[in-house]
Structure 1
Amino acid sequence: MNDLKKIIYCCIIILTPVLSFAQKSTTSNFSFVDTAKLWGNTGNKVCVKDLQVTGTKQTKVYIVYREIQFKKGDSIVLADLYKELEQARFQVYNTTLFNEVKFELIALDAANVHINVQVLERWYLYPVPQFKWIDRNFNEWYRTYKASLSRVNYGIKFVHYNLSGRRDQLRIYFINGYTRNVSFSYTAPYSNKKLTEGFTIGGGYLQKRELSIKTNSNDSLLFYPSDSAVKAKADFVYKTWYVHAGYTIRRGFFTKHIFGAAYSYIKIADSVIDKRYNPNYFGDSVNSKGLFDLNYRLQYANVDNGSYPLKGKTAFVALQKRGLGFTGGVNMFMVEAGWNRYYDLGKKWYGIAQVFGSIKLPFDQAYINQRGFGYGENYLRGLEYYVIDGVATALIKSTIKKKLLSVNIPFKYFPKLLTKIPITVFAKTFTDVGYAYTKKKYDTNLNNRLLYSGGFGIDILTLYDINLRIEYSFNQLGEKGLFLHNQSGF
């Protein structure tokens, strides 16, 4: 209970000064001029006589035009005009290049309109200091390891989100602390003349002082070395270098094909594959392995906000082949699929339905390939403390939420980059149901049984796609608690 109070107090302290200066938002994303002229339209369509973009400095203007489904000279059904403008605004905003996107429509006469797109660019260059726990989530670090500062990484992440003005991103990491990581990646989504193809390349070197080698009967990770005092002084027990490359095709607005290849070489401490620990870590008794991965992903996204959708839908199907063989060692063929539907229920109420599933073949997999629930965003809310391995998984999530607050804090210090800081707060309730299958030879508890959890909480959204999720959850084991999650556009 004391921990619960501490977390609540921290959240109040963080948010109180922000909300105390908040004012109601009166800014609209659309403006209409002389639209009374359209009343005389005797036909069904209006012509886009002119289409202009203003406000771009770093961004190439043709990148904005590429994300708008209508062009200069196109005709739009009058009844669909607002819907077309709204859809175009979503698409431009979802490039994540701009803080603000506004559409202005000017009626020239009964049959012709001028459309002006006004954008306010984000700040693209970030040398971001890094200070982050190495555990799977905040609650595990806070409760299990008492928020130990010895289990954090620190360093700097250099990111340019719009290097050449074509929405290309360069990322360079220099991380030290409990783990060490030096890495880079470069992504160019519009690399051809038609702006329909792109690529990504990257690589890095990573070292860890501890390694998760097994999942125990309580569905918690076992680490090597197991003694915390030894870990603090230990040499790195996990070392890997890796390279990857990808190619994307996006000819329309919503569907993307992603092809990728990667190679990584991993070396672990000799003792890890001892019978006392896990000789099945790589699927055979070796302490080093080269992993070759090929993958393909078909992705669909048509939502109002890619970082925090309130209406629309997304879906994906992904295939991955690891290894050059079919059985034994780290060889694996995986199929994943997901579907998300976001509903605007009216009167500031929203609903979310999410379905996810995966299968890995053959079922007899090395430990390194057995991740099921408990990593990244693939978890049941209320079961964050558990790692649930599985070669086949299914997960259904449902959420109902209501917008409680939407305000803008005036910001006058950098008017060319930022005029206000938005704060939006949602209250929500949710339920999750999942299942993870694994072969019986592994001594775990939550596999091969129906899992369910639920709870309620609040989501707090602000600038640059930063959101904080505060959730009070309970699960089928009779456990309950407060969980914090955060996501950032940085």
Structure 2
Amino acid sequence: MPLFRNILTLTFAVLLVSIGEIKAQDTTLSPASISTPDSVRVNNIFIIGNEKTQKSIILRELDFTTDFLYEWETFMGIIRADQQKIYNLRLFTEVEITPLFTGDKEVEILISVKERWYVLPSVIFQLADRNFSEWWTNQGRDWSRVNYGLKINHNNVGGRNEKLRFSGQLGFTKALDILYSKPYIDKKQKHGLAIQLTYADQKTIPIKSEYNRQVFYTNETESVLRKNFSAALRYSYRRSFYNYHFLTLGYNKTWVSPDVLAENPNYFQHGDNNLRYAFLQYSFRHDNRNVAAYATKGELLQVTATKYGILYTKDLDEVELNLVANKYFTLSDRFHFAAGLTGVWFLSPQQPYTLVRGIGYSPNFIRGYELNVIEGQQLYVQKNSLRYKLLDLSFDISQFMPLEQFSTLPLKMYLSANFDHGNVKDRNNIPENARLANQYLFGYGAGLDVVAIYDMVLRFEYSVNNQGEGNFFFNFRAPF
């Protein structure tokens, strides 16, 4: 495929900069071994490089303490895990924990970090569709289906790992989004709060699916067809390093034009063009991945239960259960295997179209079916990837880049062999969608994954599904 070859050529051309004054280092090399004691005691912990981040945020991730005797191999395992935990805060581009011997069995710990650029004003320029392939193929590369605007992220307010996000968006979907989260509101750093307000309106909206494709509708006057406002308050509890509990109380109001109900009378189901409900959601999350953006080792488990309609259930009375379970196996220095399972269950046989789930909606994709949506009330998707680390480099461009936060350009490339499979159960048995609904589906193929600066992930894949349909797909994030 010429397009695939051109993308590969462009990607590998990036490596040519290393022939100049930019130095590339292979980060897979292991340090030389030295003689070590059987056990050690930590006297002091020093942190350097945290110009903005408060020391307590870093110390919260440490599983060791001072004045305690540790068996050496156990201690080194703790240090490696703590290093990954600090990196997964996504506050630093580099993290290194080094034990410095001050006696036969005594060490000082030096934690060296390199902070990211925390205030990131950025231009919004993104596709409104489910994925790039949907826009490229099904929507004919229609540039009117692009969102644009301004987003400002402050990812470390006050140096306390607080998040503040504001975005104003125009284009296909006009939207306003404000989010503030404080991970810890107590001295023991276990309890946190977050609040989010969003508003959006659209002139073109999906109103149903036919033949496993979304059907979009715009009325003759091109007026606004849907307005949505939502507010949510989330409480978080982090008792241990890898386990999180979230409790969210929220409110949602959606208005649609009567024209939408004329096209699909079951869009809201209750005969009104306003849908209002409060919801309560509980989620448990166990996250022990070595790198959150593109894991090669560890596991992720998340279980979520949502009750739509509390106290007032006239418009909606529904329960949704969600499961995400991913496992990452390191097979060797170059090979790793990733397996992931997602599941969704609604208790009622039919939902408002704004709550419809299925394969084709994030994160429930089967590779090879990116162009399709298979909607229903229950689904499972199981994904598998065997990956080979092709490159692991780091470019020092400090002499060209005055900002220290961007002075190092990491670049990793993985070849992947993929197999996904799953099923959607549609209790309504819509004839137009019978080709893929209530059927066993699978897809397979190969790809190239690129992991770059600030955890950016690019995926280039060619996949074939069990309908015999094959295509090239491009994505901006890890599949799971």
Scaled by the length of structure 2, the TM-score of the pair is: 0.93
- Alignment match, 2:332: 346
Looking at structure 2, the residues matched to 431 and 112 of structure 1 have their Cα atoms a distance apart, in angstroms, of 50
- Alignment match, 2:125: 131
1:96-127 deviations in Å (ceiling 9; x for gaps): 00000011111222221111000000000011
Alignment check: 8 A CA contact 2:198 2:229 kept: yes
SS in 2 for 1:92: helix
- Alignment match, 1:367: 353
- Alignment match, 2:189: 195
- Alignment match, 1:234: 222
- Alignment match, 2:467: 477
Question: Which of 2, 6, 12 is equivalent to 1:5?
Answer: 2
Looking at structure 2, the residues matched to 352 and 58 of structure 1 have their Cα atoms a distance apart, in angstroms, of 35
Amino acid at match of 2:253: Y
Given the alignment of the two structures, is residue 309 of structure 1 paired with residue 295 of structure 2, yes or no?
yes
1:283-342 deviations in Å (ceiling 9; x for gaps): 222111112211010000111111111001110111000013798853210111121110
Looking at structure 1, the residues matched to 27 and 440 of structure 2 have their Cα atoms a distance apart, in angstroms, of 47
Looking at structure 1, the residues matched to 32 and 384 of structure 2 have their Cα atoms a distance apart, in angstroms, of 38
Looking at structure 1, the residues matched to 390 and 32 of structure 2 have their Cα atoms a distance apart, in angstroms, of 28
Displacement, 1:199?
0.9
Looking at structure 2, the residues matched to 149 and 70 of structure 1 have their Cα atoms a distance apart, in angstroms, of 53
- Alignment match, 1:72: 66
Alignment check: 8 A CA contact 2:27 2:392 kept: no
Question: Which of 16, 19, 31 is equivalent to 1:20?
Answer: 16
Displacement, 1:264?
1.4
Seen in structure 2, the aligned counterparts of structure 1 residues 202 and 120 have a Cα distance that, compared at 3 Å, is same
Looking at structure 2, the residues matched to 72 and 346 of structure 1 have their Cα atoms a distance apart, in angstroms, of 34
Alignment check: 8 A CA contact 1:157 1:172 kept: yes
Given the alignment of the two structures, is residue 431 of structure 1 paired with residue 428 of structure 2, yes or no?
no
Seen in structure 2, the aligned counterparts of structure 1 residues 486 and 86 have a Cα distance that, compared at 3 Å, is same
Alignment check: 8 A CA contact 1:330 1:369 kept: no
How many residue pairs align between the two structures? 470
Alignment check: 8 A CA contact 1:153 1:179 kept: yes
Question: Which of 102, 106, 110 is equivalent to 1:108?
Answer: 102
Report sequence identity in percent.
27
Alignment check: 8 A CA contact 1:255 1:299 kept: yes
Question: Which of 364, 374, 387 is equivalent to 1:378?
Answer: 364
SS in 2 for 1:372: strand
Displacement, 1:368?
2.8
Displacement, 1:19?
1.7
SS in 2 for 1:108: strand
Alignment check: 8 A CA contact 2:276 2:315 kept: no
SS in 1 for 2:406: coil
SS in 2 for 1:283: coil
Looking at structure 2, the residues matched to 479 and 253 of structure 1 have their Cα atoms a distance apart, in angstroms, of 44
**Residues 85-164 of structure 1 aligned to structure 2 (within 5 Å):** 85-164=79-158
Question: Which of 205, 212, 222 is equivalent to 1:219?
Answer: 212
Displacement, 1:156?
0.7
Seen in structure 2, the aligned counterparts of structure 1 residues 32 and 68 have a Cα distance that, compared at 3 Å, is farther
Runs of 4+ in 1 over 4 A off after TM superposition: 26-33, 325-329
Seen in structure 2, the aligned counterparts of structure 1 residues 464 and 20 have a Cα distance that, compared at 3 Å, is same
Amino acid at match of 2:444: G
- Alignment match, 1:292: 278
Looking at structure 2, the residues matched to 224 and 415 of structure 1 have their Cα atoms a distance apart, in angstroms, of 47
Amino acid at match of 2:203: R
Structure 2, unpaired ranges of 5+: none
Moved more, 22-31 or 379-388: 22-31
Looking at structure 2, the residues matched to 328 and 361 of structure 1 have their Cα atoms a distance apart, in angstroms, of 17
Displacement, 1:144?
2.0
Scaled by the length of structure 1, the TM-score of the pair is: 0.91
Moved more, 117-126 or 432-441: 432-441
SS in 1 for 2:362: coil
Looking at structure 1, the residues matched to 84 and 91 of structure 2 have their Cα atoms a distance apart, in angstroms, of 12
1:119-143 deviations in Å (ceiling 9; x for gaps): 0000000110011111111111111
Alignment check: 8 A CA contact 2:92 2:115 kept: yes
SS in 1 for 2:181: strand
Alignment check: 8 A CA contact 1:272 1:278 kept: yes
Structure 1, unpaired ranges of 5+: none
Looking at structure 1, the residues matched to 30 and 65 of structure 2 have their Cα atoms a distance apart, in angstroms, of 18
Looking at structure 2, the residues matched to 461 and 411 of structure 1 have their Cα atoms a distance apart, in angstroms, of 18
